[in-house]
Structure 1
Amino acid sequence: MHLFVGLDVSSFDIKVCFLNGQGEQLQTFTVNNDLPGATKLRDEILNTARDKSIGKLRIGLESTSVYSFHPSMFLHHDESLRALGGQVFVMNPRQIANFKKSYNDLDKTDEIDAFIIADYLRFGRLPMSIVKEEQYVALQQLTRARYHLVRQITQEKQRFLQYLSYKCNTFTEEVDSSVFGKAMMDLFLESYSLDELSNMPLDDLADFLRTKGKNRFPDPTYVANSIQKAVRSSYRLDKVVEDSIDTILATSITLIRTFEIQKKELKKAIERLMKGLPQTLQTIPGIGPVFAAGIIAEIGPIERFEDETKIAKYAGLYWRKHQSGRFTADDTSLSRNGNQYLRYYLVEAANSVRRQIPEYGQYYAKKYQEVPKHQHKRALVLTARKFVRLVDALLRKNQIYTPKGAIIQEA
C-alpha cells in the first residue's frame, strides 16, 4: 500500500488528507497546529498503516515559514514514521498552485488544498526533503538572520546617504574617503553646521580625523581639505531644516552601528556552530566560516541533490530559455525562483573567491567583457554558477580544496 498525506498548515490548525496509490481519498480531518495535534496526526497515520504492508509513505506540506516548521520537523524525526520509511517534503507554494491549475472547478478551501498536496506527492515530482540534522536547522536560522541584517544595514546606509546629500550635496563626490568609517561617522555625530566646518582650522579638522580614525588615514590633511572643499561648494539649508537633518543623520548612525554590533554577534555564533560541523569549504581561498555556513545551511546534506545542476537550480542560478520557432533570445533574465539565501551566499562567496583564485578571476573577467550592459552582475552570477561545481565536488567527496588540476584528475 502507498500512503500519501497532504497537509495544509495555518497558524492554528492543520487540514489533513490521506490518499492511497490509486488517488482514492481515505480520510480527511483537522488537528491543531501544536504538539498534541501533531501527535494525533502521527497516530492517525500509524493507525491507517497498521496491519498493512507500506510500500511508500510520503507526507507533504507547503513552506509557510514558521507555521510549517514545527510539524515538518516533528513528523520527520518521529521514529515510528521513520520505521515505515516515511519521508517528509516541504514544497514551494507556487509549485502547488501551478499543479492545482490542472484541476477544473475546484474551490479555494483548505481541505481541497490538502487534497492537492497529497495528489502532488502521488505523482512523484517532488522537491527536496527537509533538512535532516538539527545542526543544519540551527545554522540556517543564524545565517538567514545575518542575511536580513545585512539587507537592513544596506538600506540604512542608502537612507543615510540620501539625507547626507541634503546636508552637503557634494560630499560623496569631493571626499575621497569612506563615508561610513568611524572618523566620518563621529564627525557627523558632532552635528557641525556647514559654516562651522568651513571655518574650522584645517589642522584642527585633520587632528579630529587622525584621532577618531586611530591614525588609519594615510593623509588626514588631504581628507580634511577635501571635506572643506565639499562643504564650501554645497547649498546652505535653513537652520531649522539643517537641525532636523542632523538629528536624522545621528539616528541613522546609531542604527548602523547597532546593526554592525549585532552582525558581529551573529558571526561569533556561526563560528562556534561551524566548529562542530565537518566540512571542507573553508579550505577554499576566500571562504571563511560565514560564507561556508550560509552555503551549507541551505544545502544541508549534499546527498539531497543528484548533482551540481540541481543545486544551481535550487539556488535560482539559471536563466530561462525563450524560444519561438527558429528564434532563440540571447538576452534573458535570471530566474526569480529558487532559494534566495543560498543564491546570496553563493554569489557573495564567488565574489570573494574570484579575488583569491586566478582561475575564477579570469573567468569573471572573460564574462565581464562579453556584454555591454549588466556586466558585473552577469559576470558575478556566472562565476557563482561555476563555483557551485566546486562546492558540490568538495562536499560530495569530503575533500579539501586543491588547485584545479588535482580535482579534475580525481573526477
Structure 2
Amino acid sequence: MDLFVGLDVSLRSTSVCILDGAGELVKEAKVESEPASIAALLEKFAGCYRRVGLEAGPLSQWLYSGLASAGYPVTCVEARHMRAALSARINKTDRNDARGIAQMMRVGLFRPVHVKTERSQEIRMLLTARKFLQSKIIDAENNLRGLLRNFGMKVGAVTRAQFESRVKELLEARPHLALAVTPLLEVRRVLRVQYQHLHKAMHLLAADDPVCRLLMTAPGVGPLVALTFRTGVDKAARFRRSRSVPAHFGLTPARYQSGEIDHGRGISKCGDAGVRWALVEAAGAIMRRNTKNSSLKAWGLSVAKRRGRLRAVVAVARRLATILHRMWTDNTEFRWQAQPA
C-alpha cells in the first residue's frame, strides 16, 4: 500500500497526517517535533512511503536530515506555494494543514525546496553571527552619539578605532555623565573584540575553501561575497544553466500585467536576500573608478551611460552571478579580458 505523509511543524509539536494512494485517511496524530518521534510513528504502519512532505521553516533542515537518514523519502516544500494552496480551507488548524500537505504530496502539487548541506549551514551561521555583532556595534555607537548630542557634545566623523577616545575626550567636560556612558563603551569594546574574532575566522575559512579561492579571482569578490554566494548556491549542480542563478536570487525584472495595465516592478527580490545584497555590493565595487579594468566593468559602464548607474549596478550583479556559477561549474578562474566566441 502506498502511503503519503504531511507534516505541519511547530516548535514543540508536529501534526502528522498519513493518507493512502486513494486519499483515504490512515492516521492522524500529534507528536513532538523530533525526527525520532516522527519516525517512531511512521514505523507503526506497514506500507510503502512514497512521499513525506514538510514546509520549509526553522526546523525543516534538521527534521529533513533526521528523516532522510532514517530512510524516508522526505521532501521539503516551498512554504509560500503551500500556503497559497492551503488558503482555500475555511478553518486553519494544524490538523487541517497536515491533511492538506498530505493531499498535495499524494497528487504531486508541490514545489520542492533544496535543503542545504550541513557545511553550508555552518558557514551561514558564522556569517549571520558576524552580521549580528556588526549591527549591534553600529547600534551602540549611534546610541552613544544620540545621548551625547542632548548635551551639545558631537562625536563627529571618526574611525572605529578613534571612537572610544573621542567619547572620553568629550566626557572630560562633563565627568558625571561617565556613569551612563562608560558601561556602553565597555559593551561596544566587547562586541568589537568578538566581531574581529569572527571576521578573522571568515577570512581563514574563505582561504581554506577551494571554491571560495576560485570565486575570489573575480573582481569585487572578497571573502564575504565568496562565502555568501557559496552557501547560497550550496551545490553548483543545482542549476542546469548558469543564467538561472540571477533569477533564483531575485535579480531579474518583475512584471505586473492585467488587462490594460502593464508595467514593470523592478527586480523580483525573491530568494536569499543576503546573496542578493552581496552580489549588488560586489557589482558596486566593480563599477568604482579606482578598480582594475575588466570586460565586465566596461560592459557595466556602457549600460550606465544608457540606463543610469543604479540599473547598471543591478545588471552587473546579475551578470556576475552568472559568471561566478560558470566559474564554479567549469573550475576556471575569472577571465579579465573578453575572448572571442
Native 8 Å contact 1:6 1:17 kept in 2: yes
Question: In the alignment, what sits opposite 2:198?
Answer: 266
Given residue 81 of structure 2, which amino acid in structure 1 is its aligned partner? Q
Paired residue for 1:98, among 84, 89, 92? 84
Question: In the alignment, what sits opposite 2:217?
Answer: 283
Aligned equivalents of 2:68, 2:274: Cα separation in 1:
23
Matched, 1:118 2:102: yes
Given residue 27 of structure 2, which amino acid in structure 1 is its aligned partner? Q
TM-score normalised by the chain length of structure 1 = 0.69
* Residues 322-333 of structure 1 aligned to structure 2 (within 5 Å): 322-330=256-264, 332-333=265-266
Aligned equivalents of 2:282, 2:41: Cα separation in 1:
42
Could you tell me which runs of 5 or more consecutive residues in structure 1 were left unpaired when the two chains were aligned: 173-177, 197-238
Aligned equivalents of 2:247, 2:3: Cα separation in 1:
29
SS in 2 for 1:27: strand
Counterparts in 2 of 1:154 and 1:183: CA distance versus 1, 3 Å: closer
Native 8 Å contact 2:7 2:14 kept in 1: yes
Question: In the alignment, what sits opposite 1:302?
Answer: 236
Counterparts in 2 of 1:253 and 1:29: CA distance versus 1, 3 Å: same
CA-CA distance at 1:284 after TM superposition: 1.7
Native 8 Å contact 1:147 1:341 kept in 2: no
* Residues 31-110 of structure 1 aligned to structure 2 (within 5 Å): 31-41=31-41, 43-44=43-44, 47-49=46-48, 57-65=50-58, 67-78=59-70, 80-81=71-72, 86-92=73-79, 94-101=80-87, 103-105=88-90, 107-110=91-94
Native 8 Å contact 2:145 2:154 kept in 1: no
Given residue 269 of structure 1, which amino acid in structure 2 is its aligned partner? A
Counterparts in 2 of 1:284 and 1:247: CA distance versus 1, 3 Å: farther
CA-CA distance at 1:97 after TM superposition: 1.7
Question: In the alignment, what sits opposite 1:15?
Answer: 15
Counterparts in 2 of 1:2 and 1:381: CA distance versus 1, 3 Å: farther
Aligned equivalents of 1:251, 1:23: Cα separation in 2:
63
CA-CA distance at 1:300 after TM superposition: 0.8
* Residues 165-180 of structure 1 aligned to structure 2 (within 5 Å): 165-168=149-152, 172=156, 178-180=157-159
Paired residue for 1:320, among 236, 254, 262? 254
CA-CA distance at 1:392 after TM superposition: 1.7
Say how many residue pairs are matched. Answer: 335
- Which deviations, in whole Å up to 9, do the C-alpha atoms of 1:108-131 show, x marking residues without a partner? 111111122233344344132211
Aligned equivalents of 1:403, 1:26: Cα separation in 2:
61
Native 8 Å contact 1:42 1:75 kept in 2: no
SS in 1 for 2:112: coil
Could you tell me which runs of 5 or more consecutive residues in structure 2 were left unpaired when the two chains were aligned: none
Counterparts in 2 of 1:286 and 1:34: CA distance versus 1, 3 Å: same
SS in 1 for 2:332: coil
Native 8 Å contact 1:90 1:128 kept in 2: yes
- Which deviations, in whole Å up to 9, do the C-alpha atoms of 1:34-85 show, x marking residues without a partner? 253143146357x421xxxx7xx333222332x333212212334x33xxxx
Aligned equivalents of 1:333, 1:284: Cα separation in 2:
26
SS in 2 for 1:115: helix
Counterparts in 2 of 1:402 and 1:368: CA distance versus 1, 3 Å: closer
CA-CA distance at 1:291 after TM superposition: 2.0
CA-CA distance at 1:139 after TM superposition: 1.3
Aligned equivalents of 1:139, 1:38: Cα separation in 2:
28
Question: In the alignment, what sits opposite 2:277?
Answer: 344
CA-CA distance at 1:17 after TM superposition: 2.0
Counterparts in 2 of 1:36 and 1:322: CA distance versus 1, 3 Å: closer
Native 8 Å contact 1:60 1:91 kept in 2: no
Greater CA radius of gyration, 1 or 2? 1
- Which deviations, in whole Å up to 9, do the C-alpha atoms of 1:299-331 show, x marking residues without a partner? 21122234345433332323431234454325x
Deviates further, 389-398 or 344-353: 344-353
Matched, 1:181 2:181: no
CA-CA distance at 1:393 after TM superposition: 0.9
SS in 1 for 2:114: coil
Native 8 Å contact 1:188 1:250 kept in 2: no
Native 8 Å contact 2:75 2:112 kept in 1: no
- Which deviations, in whole Å up to 9, do the C-alpha atoms of 1:88-107 show, x marking residues without a partner? 31533x32221212x343x1
Counterparts in 2 of 1:255 and 1:379: CA distance versus 1, 3 Å: farther
* Residues 98-247 of structure 1 aligned to structure 2 (within 5 Å): 98-101=84-87, 103-105=88-90, 107-121=91-105, 122-131=107-116, 133-168=117-152, 172=156, 178-192=157-171, 243-244=176-177
How much is the aligned-residue C-alpha RMSD, in angstroms? 3.4
Native 8 Å contact 1:15 1:111 kept in 2: yes
Counterparts in 2 of 1:283 and 1:41: CA distance versus 1, 3 Å: farther
Given residue 32 of structure 2, which amino acid in structure 1 is its aligned partner? N
CA-CA distance at 1:8 after TM superposition: 0.9
CA-CA distance at 1:170 after TM superposition: 6.6
Aligned equivalents of 2:225, 2:28: Cα separation in 1:
44
SS in 2 for 1:403: coil
